[in-house]
Amino acid sequence: MSHFVHAQRADFKGEVFGVKLDLRPMLRGEVTRVGVDFLIEPEAPAGVELDGDAHMEGLVTNQGGYMRLEATVTVPYSGTCARCLDAVSGTFVMPFERTVVTEGTLTEEQEEDNVDEYVILEDGFLDVDEAVREALILSFPMRLLCREDCPGLCPVCGKPLRDGDCGCVKKEIDPRWAALASIRFDEDEEDDTKGK
Ligand SMILES: [Zn+2]
Ligand SMILES: [Zn+2]
């Protein structure tokens, strides 16, 4: 585990212990803005490689007691296109915004029902490491595409269709559909379906 953490100067240079950001000066009313600039070691979503640490940049602000964390998390990734299997890489960008509350502000029920809404300070320190890791896993695209309209592969010869037509006659039934076409429903079952 190698967490590298760095709090950047806004009005106040937040003191960092481990991956925690010291917001006690904000709670005491000494500052209204604290910059956030963390590197977080992320967990890779299934089927994807993360090519570096996640970088979280943003700001915690305090407006009359209402504290808000507004940050953006970026992480470089690589994987393969779900349609043509080409290599895909890029930078995933995820907004990470939470209302910051002190312990005891929320009931246990409110905490459980709004995990993606609030972050809770512990003794005046903000620790979002785990929350960011979880959010990354949840919001990463389920499948990657080399481009939105990737036409995939020719079902006959397997060449990527993005390079233009391969000249194959594509009237043959795609083997994936052929398997479906061979499935026969018996009369009773069909009647059953109609009756519903
Ligand atoms: Zn593709
Ligand atoms: Zn072809």
Tokens of 94: 């995820």
Helix (H) or strand (E) holding 190: helix 187-195
168 has pLDDT over 80: yes
DSSP string across 30-98: S-SEEEEEEEE-PPPPTT-EE-S-EEEEEEEEEETTEEEEEEEEEEEEEEE-TTT--EEEEEEEEEEEE
**Nearest ligand, measured from the Cα of 83:** 1
Residues 129-133, mean pLDDT to the nearest whole number: 91
State in Å: Cα 155 to ligand 1 middle. Answer: 14
State in Å: Cα 152 to ligand 1 middle. Answer: 6
**Nearest ligand, measured from the Cα of 80:** 1
Q: What is the pLDDT of residues 91-128, one digit of tens each?
A: 999 999 999 999 888 888 888 887 789 999 999 999 99
State in Å: Cα 145 to ligand 1 middle. Answer: 5
Most confident of 52-56, 108-112, 171-175: 52-56
State in Å: Cα 62 to ligand 2 middle. Answer: 60
Q: Supply the pLDDT for residue 145.
A: 93
**Nearest ligand, measured from the Cα of 151:** 1
State in Å: Cα 11 to ligand 1 middle. Answer: 46
Residues with Cβ within 8 Å of 130's Cβ and at least 6 positions away in sequence, in order, are none
State in Å: Cα 167 to ligand 2 middle. Answer: 6
DSSP string across 80-127: E-TTT--EEEEEEEEEEEEEEE-TTSS-HHHHHHTTTTEEE-BTTEE-
State in Å: Cα 78 to ligand 1 middle. Answer: 13
189 has pLDDT over 60: no
State in Å: Cα 147 to ligand 1 middle. Answer: 6
Which residues make beta-bridge pairs with 70?
A: 59, 97
192 has pLDDT over 50: no
Residue 176's pLDDT band, with cuts at 50, 70 and 90, is: low
**Nearest ligand, measured from the Cα of 88:** 1
Residues 55-78, mean pLDDT to the nearest whole number: 94
Query: 63-77 burial by CB neighbour count: b if 16+ within 10 A, else e?
Result: eeeebebebebebeb
State in Å: Cα 146 to ligand 2 middle. Answer: 19
pLDDT over 90, % of the chain: 49
State in Å: Cα 86 to ligand 1 middle. Answer: 6
Residue 179's pLDDT band, with cuts at 50, 70 and 90, is: low
State in Å: Cα 161 to ligand 1 middle. Answer: 9
Q: Supply the pLDDT for residue 90.
A: 94
Residues 138-153, mean pLDDT to the nearest whole number: 91
